[in-house]
Amino acid sequence: MKKLFVVFALVLTACTFQTKHRGYVFPEDLESQVANIKTTAQLQDEIGDPQTRTIYGDEVWVYYSADENMHGPFPITYDNKTVLLAWVKGGKVLKTQVLHDDDLKDVKLADGETEIPAAIELNALEELFNNIGRFSPAGLGQ
C-alpha cells in the first residue's frame, strides 16, 4: 500500500500545470494605445525599451510577449503570443503593427547540427592533451 501511495504521489506531482509569462506584459487595449503614440519617447514611456532593434534596413523596434505552459512531463507549449513592431525614424514612430497567435507562423527547428567548414574533430583524449599548458595556474593574474 505504501509503494502504491509513493507511485501515485510521484505521478500526481509530475502532472502539475504551470504558466510563466515571458517578455512584456502588454495592456488589454494594446492596439488603441499604440495607435496614439507618435514619438519614441512616448513609446518608451508606455511600453518600455524594445527587446531588440533591427540593424539592417528600416529601424524596427520589436517587443515580444508569450505564455509558457508546462504540463508535467510533456513538452513546453507557448500561447497568447503577441509581437509589437514599431517602425522608427529619428525620434518619430512611423508605423506600428501588433501580431497575435494567428498572425505568427510556427517555425520548426531542424534536427542535427550545422557543420563548420574546416573544423577539427577531436575525441575526448585529444581534447585533454590539447589543453595541457594552455591555462595558467590560479592566482597569477593571467
Is residue 110 over pLDDT 70?
yes
Q: In which band, very low, low, confident or very high, does the pLDDT at 142 lie, cut at 50, 70 and 90?
A: low
The residue assigned the cell 590560479 is 138
pLDDT digits (tens, 9 = 90+) for 36-87: 889 999 989 888 899 999 888 889 999 998 888 887 777 888 888 888 888 9
CA-based end-to-end distance of the chain? 61
How many residues are present in the chain?
A: 142
Give the count of domains, the chain. 1
Tell whether 137 is covered by a domain.
Answer: no
- In sequence order, the 6+-apart residues with CB closer than 8 A to the CB of 48 are 24, 63
Q: Model-level pTM greater than 0.75?
A: no
Tell whether 129 is covered by a domain.
Answer: no
Tell whether 8 is covered by a domain.
Answer: no
Tell whether 135 is covered by a domain.
Answer: no
Average pLDDT, the chain: 82
Tell whether 18 is covered by a domain.
Answer: no
- Domain that residue 90 falls in: 28-104
Mean pLDDT, residues 96-112 taken together:
83
Residue 140 pLDDT: 60
Tell whether 114 is covered by a domain.
Answer: no
What is the amino acid identity at position 2?
K
Tell whether 37 is covered by a domain.
Answer: yes
Q: If DSSP codes are grouped into helix, strand and coil, which group holds residue 5?
A: helix
Give the lowest-confidence range in 9-23, 53-67, 114-128: 9-23
Per-residue cell: 73 = 512531463
Cβ contact 59:87 at 8 Å? yes
Tell whether 46 is covered by a domain.
Answer: yes
Between CA 106 and CA 103 the distance in angstroms is 10
